[in-house]
Amino acid sequence: MDKAFIEKKLEEQKNHLESLVKKAKDNGISQVEIFSSYGYAEEVTLEKNDLNNCTATEENMFGIRVIENGSQGFLTTNHFPTLWESIQEARDLARSQTTPDSDLVLPDPQTLEKRANQYDESLDALGLEHLVEIAKTTLGWKKELFPKVNLDSGDMSLSKGFKLIVSSKGVNASELGAGISASVMGMAVDGSDVGSFDYDSASGNDYPYFAKKWERAFREFGEKCMGGLGAKAIPGFKGYILLPPEAVYSFFLGSFIGSLNGTSIRKGKSKMAGQLGKQVASSKLSIWEDPTISGYAGTTSFDREGQATHKQSILNQGVLDTYFYNTYEAKKAGLKASNGFATGGAQSLPGCGPRQLQIAPGDSNKDDFFKMKDKVLFVNRLSGTSDGPSGDFSGVIKGSHLLENGVKTPVKEVQVVGNVYEALNQIVSISKEGELLGESYWAPYMLLEGFTITGAS
């Protein structure tokens, strides 16, 4: 399976989908959209400190959407020979709807900017045998560097494929992609002392880059696991929390980003409704979407509806600049077209959301956060619940450390409560340094104040 094979398959499929769309129009189906997602993957898994399984899978899914008189029918299939029958079935589903909406239409085509090649042909030289070697090397690192770390599970995978969208409105777009990735999950065990469960991963579009990222990620994983041994109970306190890049989104920013979904805004389920152009966060915080960055996993020229993507501001020094719209939600908001934030794939209708968020770095050195005299809770990950409309959240912080006077002490699980929207204004400082998460999102370290930490009584 190489790039030439996938390109040929894409071209053949594109010609067939174009003919199906023409046939649909000739048969009175004026609004039909077909989204195709093709993927080939080879995978090696780890389980309980050993090799587990080797697999190769190939899948091609088609999402078919038909809109007729303001009503929509959608279905997913993986059966290429009967796509015409599936189009007819989607039309029948649309006709069975009883709540038509004039804003429910397929979008017109837009001019797309060609993005950098997301398929590095060097990956074509790799296969299952190379993934097995990566897995064996990983197990060797564990045995040599972190013998007390138990690898509960792991995954090394190589994936290739394309996405393609064709519609009766003239939308016609496609992109190839390929990548290699690895991940591990586990914990350190020293007799009766069991550390906190942890996880790390790395991915890349070419092997040399991936190999460096993976070795670094595994060492960080092992150090985090070992750092969780000897955890102590601490009394509760109110003060600072320090979020590393991987915790920034999971702790509070992810919920805020979700509140900018056009559907939530329209249904009155978001506190961000009516807040465009207003200060909703600390002036230290700026966030933007940028699907144009070469080599990143979320780089793409078009969204789930084939609409153009481009760099755009979400928060500018705390001021809210935009919401996330697909075509339907944009129409509902009185806009002429979406802003390129339709999400999803062949197995779902278009949603609303970003692909490649970037957080602006601050002016602090991250090392200074670890030297503060005040008590600071370093957050590894949060397991808990949150209420979308209110922003209230609570949960247990796992694998955390107490920082005080330059001393880093692992602590047993502690509880924290807070509010997503208040947290946006509790940012004290942001680091210059950061991490690229999932080869897509860039995030720095963040120091926040005013949190109530409940420890041992």
Cβ–Cβ under 8 Å, residues 399 and 254: no
Task: Please report, as a single letter, which amino acid is at residue 135.
Answer: A
Q: For residue 58, what are the β-bridge partners?
A: 40
Structure-token pair, residue 67: 């809109």
pLDDT tens, residue by residue, 404-418: 988 999 998 899 988
pLDDT tens, residue by residue, 420-436: 999 999 999 999 999 99
- The CA radius of gyration of the chain, in Å to the nearest whole number, is 24
Q: Does an H or E element contain 181, and which?
A: strand 172-190
Q: For residue 44, what are the β-bridge partners?
A: 54, 156
Nearest to 17 by CA among 176, 163, 177: 163
pLDDT of residue 457: 52
Q: How confident is the model at residue 392 (pLDDT cuts 50, 70, 90)?
A: confident
* Measured distance CA(255)–CA(394) in Å, rounded: 13
* Measured distance CA(227)–CA(187) in Å, rounded: 10
* Measured distance CA(338)–CA(330) in Å, rounded: 5
pLDDT of residue 84: 98
* Measured distance CA(211)–CA(181) in Å, rounded: 9
* Measured distance CA(433)–CA(395) in Å, rounded: 27
Q: Would you say residue 363 has pLDDT above 70?
A: yes
Structure-token pair, residue 247: 């915790």
Q: What structural domains does the chain harbor? A: 3-226 (3.30.2290.10), 231-457 (no CATH)
Q: Would you say residue 390 has pLDDT above 90?
A: no
Nearest to 155 by CA among 171, 172, 125, 132: 132
pLDDT of residue 294: 87
Q: How confident is the model at residue 456 (pLDDT cuts 50, 70, 90)?
A: low
Cβ partners under 8 Å of residue 198, min gap 6: 185, 186, 187, 221, 224, 225, 228, 380, 399
Count of CA atoms in the C-beta half-sphere (13 A) of 209: 14
Structure-token pair, residue 60: 């091609």
The predicted model scores a pTM of 0.93
Give the orientation angle of helix 3-26 with respect to helix 83-95, to 10 degrees: 50
pLDDT tens, residue by residue, 180-215: 999 999 999 999 999 988 999 999 999 999 999 999
